[in-house]
Structure 1
Amino acid sequence: MVDKPWLEHYPVEVPTTYDYPKQNLAQFLVDSAQLYPEHIALDFLGNKMSYKELLDSVYRFTNALLKLGICKGDRVAVMLPNCPQAVIAYYGTLLMGGIVVMTNPLYMPRELEYQLKDASVQMIVTLDILVDRVKTATEKDPLDYILVTSIKDYLPIPKNWLYALKTKKTGKPIIYDNSVLSFRLFLKQSTGTPIQIPVEAEEDLALIQYTGGTTGFAKGVMLTHMNLVANTVQGKLWFYRAEIAKERYLAALPFFHVFGMTVLLNQSIHMAGTLILMPRFDINQILKTMGRLKPTVFPGAPTMYIAVINHPDVHKFDLSSVKICISGAASLPVEVQERFESITGGTLIEGYGLTETSPVTHANNLWEKRKVGSVGIPFPDTDARIVHPESGEEMPLGDIGELIIRGPQVMKGYWQQPEETNKALRDGWLYTGDLARMDTDGFFYVLDRRKDLIIAGGYNIYPREVEEVLFEHPDVEEAVVAGVVDPYRGETVKAYIILKEGSTANEEDLKRWCKEKLAVYKVPKIYEFRDTFPKTLVGKVLRRKLIDEDNDKMPK
């Protein structure tokens, strides 16, 4: 208990350890479809698909892959937004022992070319409007197959007709042949005979998930069936009041990001829940959908919750159905958490994780003790320590150091990168590169990535701490803090600000605000007011891109 003080704060309903099933990740779908065949699994803009129908489509996909000669261990890329086809291709690949490579539909040919080649992908499933991009990316190394679908394929009438009218024809018409195949025909000409190729859950990969690649090229994180099964079960244990076959998950986070894949896709399927599929995050559409379809679970990134609380008409929508929200992908400002909870009446907690951990390792309690500003306590069977970033020695309680993690959700390694794997995984521990501290109760506070730490005049400054203060200002909608080059101090603190509509706050106002709440060396010296921030599709602000933009402006 001394080593793991967080166990004292586990709810009585949550076990500290669990015997995770050693199975194919897709077994969750098979089980839910057997128990609740008529329950709605997917609701895609009004088109509802039952568990029985979904599993039939998945079996058809699996059988069609095998007929093509795609074998266990082969890589299949899925380059789709949140739509039924993404779910079918994901579980269909897993059932035949294939390895899924989730790919961002916004990738340009250069990014796509690297990923497809690095993973030696045999087939990609993508949208008709993205086929030209895929062909450009694979000119040098053609794929065996490109499987093509359209958003309208799974839209209900008359939305599918309207979609066809609204969508402008771009690029050349698609010519189907032996290597370019139609998704609809692929399933139609296949059979729904139940099939599952056996896997070694602890050894066989379910997924190669590429990290953001903020430093050089992205690395392919190897996640086994067991990694993802364990993290899905851990999430279910944590949400112990969630009811089987009764929860409705608002799927605004993309499934091609590991956060959305685990806390939405795998979690909902395991719970026999209903996934309300949102192909993109449009705040007006989100609020209308929440008011109409009454989701009970809404995982998201902080920017999603910021968009909700700052919408001018938010009070016109009934958001009271939302019970559980977990924020990840970036730090959650306290101000945002409190306002969101007051508007919805639901519980919004912050959690923590990485692609390398499937992804969740820590979360605040939903109904028991939680701490503002903390990412919470480790999940069942998850161990965490704070060590010295250089020596690796364990730090005294309360001191800041590097967060390291051990647990069943920790990756197998990086795809074809043994040196990077050995750097990150040592003696069973994952070295996260994140700076954090643990308090006497075992609650963890993640300050920043080691590379985001600002060192100004010899002082260590954590961007998150400064951002929290800026977020408390009544006129600030979003804030990002970063270190920029300073000839005298080495680095200086710069704040990038998006003001609320109609605000007249200026640099002096914000500087005065910060001086009242922060040590003088932490107060931003430079302020840049912007209308938008560069973000990932999950809503994570690209801090590095802001810094790079500044560097590009500097005289050479």
Structure 2
Amino acid sequence: MRTLPDILREHAARIGDKTAYRDDRRAVTYGELEQRTGRVAGHLARLGVRRGDRVALHLGNRVELVESWLGVLRAGAIGVLLNPAASEEELAYFLDDSGAVTVITERSLAQLGAVQRVIVVGQEEPTDGAITFEALAGTDSGTAPRDDLGLGEPAWIHYTSGTTGQSKGVVSTQRSGLWSVTAAYVPAFGLAQQDDLLWPLPMFHALGHSICLLGVLSVGASARVLAPGASVVEALTAEPFTVLGGVPTTYRLLLESLRETARPVPASLRVCVSGGAPCSPELRAETELALSAPLLDGYGSTEACGKIAIQRLDAPHDDPSRGFPILVLDVRISDPSTGAEAGAGDEGEIWVRGPGVMTGYHNRPDATARAFAVCRERLSGFKVPDEIYPTAALPRTATGKLARADLAEQLPQRLAAERTTASAALRERLAAASDAVLDLVLDVTARTLDVPVPELDPDVPFTLPRPGSC
């Protein structure tokens, strides 16, 4: 598995003239995408964005979202993808919680919190000290992009919907994001370079991020992104798309429009993918009949950085209970009260693990503590970790598996460093404790001899009063 900058550079060299993304305003080729995102990365570094800083992406479906997303990654920073329709109150919370130092947006923002710099898309003369996006993407910064963010380092933050409480920032890496492409989209429906995707869903959302951004870019495909409210049927019947994305509502509205307009669907369409909610057998059957293409359903979550399971293109579609989906992650149905695997027909919680799972919730140590508590309550004793050492990245093989031998070699060095740090901290605590004990001895001695503490000599064992003090 390679990093996205590596993949992008290869595409630019091999298929540089191919259109990568297009919207209703403009298009960008792979060659242009590599050049423009490199410029953005260089300018961000010049403007003070450091490695690991958070940069908020407050944009709708447009080519500049792709360019911003890649530019931030190439600068070694963490992209925080935000809902452009979020309220001012929600946006203020996201910016404050993420600690974003820069925001790339389409409109003026009332509450910026700790944001130091605003970059505006689509405005020639921004106000209040903002910078135009084109000033970054269209000019040479004189600084090369870092392009050094590892596969296992934090790359993006997506905020949950908050249906079960306050929205939490889900931290993902390039490895966890690309896992769905490798284990789901390519094997399930053959996503490949020759594909042209029509994408009407929000790109900031985990599903859009997984398929339209990561999926398309990693295989060198093309995508047409639609703005909210745009007609899917008009776009679909205007160009020879091969893949259509949506949620069940997308396909219901599309079927209604096709019945009203009777427009012919291009024969190039080979597969439709759905997510976000279960797709009923009736809707699937009607969609497949109208579009002459199979409709594949999938299940995922923001914390899974994409898909948990997805239907196969070659699976039987007349009966959704037949066949077996591709399990993108290891899945277990567990009894929430005991943690034991649930029996056949029993209800339970879905537990998943694998390379696609998030690294954690941003700025949520309480959630991490609860997760470790669950480990101790529900895991076998020999599986509970004795000690936990946080690390920026884990060594992995070319296929993404944990390189245990390399990790074992690193462990003695890590433990030695931990022991040095612990010893220094212990010496500091002992020194502080020694001072407290000495103060106590001097105080008791002074009261016993009925003399003031300043008249006692702390450097003399079994301290006696100074000559002439009695």
TM-score by length of 2: 0.75
Q: Which residue of 2 aligns with 1:232?
A: 181
1:61 to 17, 40, 62: 40
Name the larger-Rg structure: 2
Q: Write the deviation string for residues 503-549 of structure 1: whole angstroms up to 9, x where unpaired.
A: xxxxxxxxxxxxxxxxxxxxxxxxxxxxxxxxxxxxxxxxxxxxxxx
Question: Is 2:79 aligned against 1:105?
Answer: no
From the superposition, tell whether residues 226 and 241 of structure 1 become closer, same or farther in structure 2 (CA, over 3 Å): closer
Work out whether residues 79 and 157 of structure 2, in 8 Å CA contact, stay in contact via their aligned partners in 1. Answer: yes
Unaligned runs of 5+ in 2: 379-470
Matched, 1:222 2:171: yes
CA contact (8 A) 2:188 2:310 kept: no
Three-state SS of the structure 2 residue aligned to 1:362 is strand
- State yes or no: 1:143 paired with 2:119: no
The question of 1:399 aligning with 2:354 is answered no
Deviation (angstroms), 1:47 = 3.0
Cα pair 2:99 2:114 within 8 Å, conserved = no
Alignment match, 1:377: 325
> 1:175 aligns to what?
127
| 1:364–1:377 contact (8 Å) kept in structure 2 | yes
Alpha-carbon shift at residue 30 of structure 1 (Å) = 2.4
Query: Post-superposition shift, 1:198?
Result: 1.6
1:232 shift after superposition: 2.3
Q: Using a 3 Å threshold, how does the CA distance of structure 1 residues 296 and 394 change in structure 2: closer, same or farther?
A: same
Task: Tell me how far 1:53 sits from its aligned partner.
Answer: 0.9
Q: How many Å separate the matches in 2 of 1:120 and 1:259?
A: 24
Could you say what secondary structure the match of 2:244 adopts?
coil
Alignment deviations for residues 290-343 of structure 1 (CA, whole Å, 9 cap, x no partner): 111121111211110111112242532324332122211111122111111000
The answer for the alignment partner of 2:196 in structure 1 is 248
Task: Trace 1:497-512 onto structure 2 (pairs within 5 A).
Answer: none
Structure 2 distance, partners of 1:375, 1:314, is 36
Kept in 2: contact 1:235–1:263 (CA 8 A): no
1:72 matched to 2:72: no
Greater CA deviation, 76-85 or 29-38? 29-38
Aligned equivalents of 2:156 and 2:12: distance in 1?
A: 23
Aligned to 2:214: 266
2:311 alignment partner AA: N
Q: Which secondary structure does the structure 2 equivalent of 1:137 belong to? A: coil
Gaps of 5+ in 1: 1-20, 154-172, 431-556
**Contact 1:60–1:190 (8 Å) recurs in 2:** yes
Higher strand proportion: 1
Letter in 1 for 2:85: L
- 1:189 is aligned, of 139, 150, 169, to 139
Instruction: Provide closer, same or farther for how the CA distance between residues 193 and 64 of structure 1 changes in structure 2, counting only shifts above 3 A.
Output: closer
Q: Which has more helix, going by share of residues?
A: 2
In structure 2, the residue matched to 1:212 is 161
Give the superposition deviation at 1:195.
2.9
Taking structure 1 as reference, are residues 69 and 233 closer, same or farther at Cα in structure 2, changes over 3 Å only? Answer: same
CA contact (8 A) 2:180 2:210 kept: yes
Q: Does the CA-based 8 Å contact 2:206-2:306 persist in structure 1?
A: yes
User: C-alpha offsets along residues 6-41 of structure 1, whole Å, 9 cap, x if unaligned?
Assistant: xxxxxxxxxxxxxxx1x4334332232222111111
Call closer, same or farther: CA 1:325–1:281 in 2, change over 3 Å.
farther
Secondary structure of 1:298 counterpart: strand
Tell me the distance in 1 between the aligned counterparts of 2:187 and 2:100.
35
Asked if 2 retains the 8 angstrom alpha-carbon contact of 1:72 and 1:197, the reply is no
Give the direction of change, closer, same or farther, for the CA distance of 1:385–1:36 in structure 2 (3 Å limit): same
CA distance in 2, matches of 1:361, 1:192: 43
Q: Provide the secondary structure at the position in 1 that maps to 2:349.
A: strand
Give per-residue Cα distances to partners, 1:399-449, cap 9 Å, x unaligned.
221111111000111111122234457559x9xxxxxxxxxxxxxxxxxxx
Give, in angstroms, the shift of residue 375 of structure 1.
11
- Aligned 8 A contact 1:351 1:375 in 2: no
Q: Residues 356, 422 of structure 1: CA spacing in aligned structure 2 closer, same or farther, 3 A cutoff?
A: farther
Identify the residue that residue 443 of structure 2 maps to in structure 1.
none
DSSP-derived class of the 2:276 partner: coil
Asked if residue 294 in structure 1 is aligned to residue 240 in structure 2, the reply is yes
Counterpart residue identity of residue 208, structure 1: I
- Name 2:462's counterpart in structure 1: none
Tell me if the contact between 1:363 and 1:375 (Cα under 8 Å) persists in the aligned partners: no
| Identity fraction in percent | 25
Which whole-Å CA distance do the structure 2 matches of 1:427 and 1:348 have between them?
Answer: 38
| 421 and 315 in structure 1: CA distance in 2 versus 1, 3 angstrom threshold | farther
**Residues 401-550 of structure 1 mapped to structure 2, 5 A cutoff:** 401-423=348-370
Tell me the residue number matched to 2:439: none
Give the distance between the partners of 1:123 and 1:221, measured in 2 at CA.
19
The 3-state SS of whatever aligns with 1:330 is coil
**TM-aligned CA distance change 1:195 to 1:374, over 3 Å:** farther
Matched position secondary structure for 2:340 = coil
TM (normalized to structure 1)?
0.63
- Asked if structure 1 preserves the Cα contact closer than 8 Å seen for 2:176 and 2:305, the reply is yes
Answer yes or no: is the 8 Å Cα contact 1:176–1:182 preserved in 2: no
Contact 2:237 / 2:263 at 8 angstroms: preserved in 1? no
Match of 1:122 among 101, 112, 117: 101
SS at match of 2:33: helix
From the superposition, tell whether residues 427 and 360 of structure 1 become closer, same or farther in structure 2 (CA, over 3 Å).
Answer: farther
Q: Does 1:28 align with 2:2?
A: no
Distance 1:87 1:105 in 2: 15
C-alpha distance in 2 between matches for 1:264 and 1:198 = 23
Counterpart CA distance in 2 for 1:30 and 1:194 is 14
Q: Give, in whole Å, the separation in 2 of the partners of 1:375 and 1:416.
A: 41
- Conservation of the 8 A alpha-carbon contact between 2:4 and 2:218: no
CA contact (8 A) 1:334 1:373 kept: no
Mapped contact 1:264–1:275 kept (Cα < 8 A): yes
Following superposition, the deviation at residue 243 of structure 1 comes to 3.6
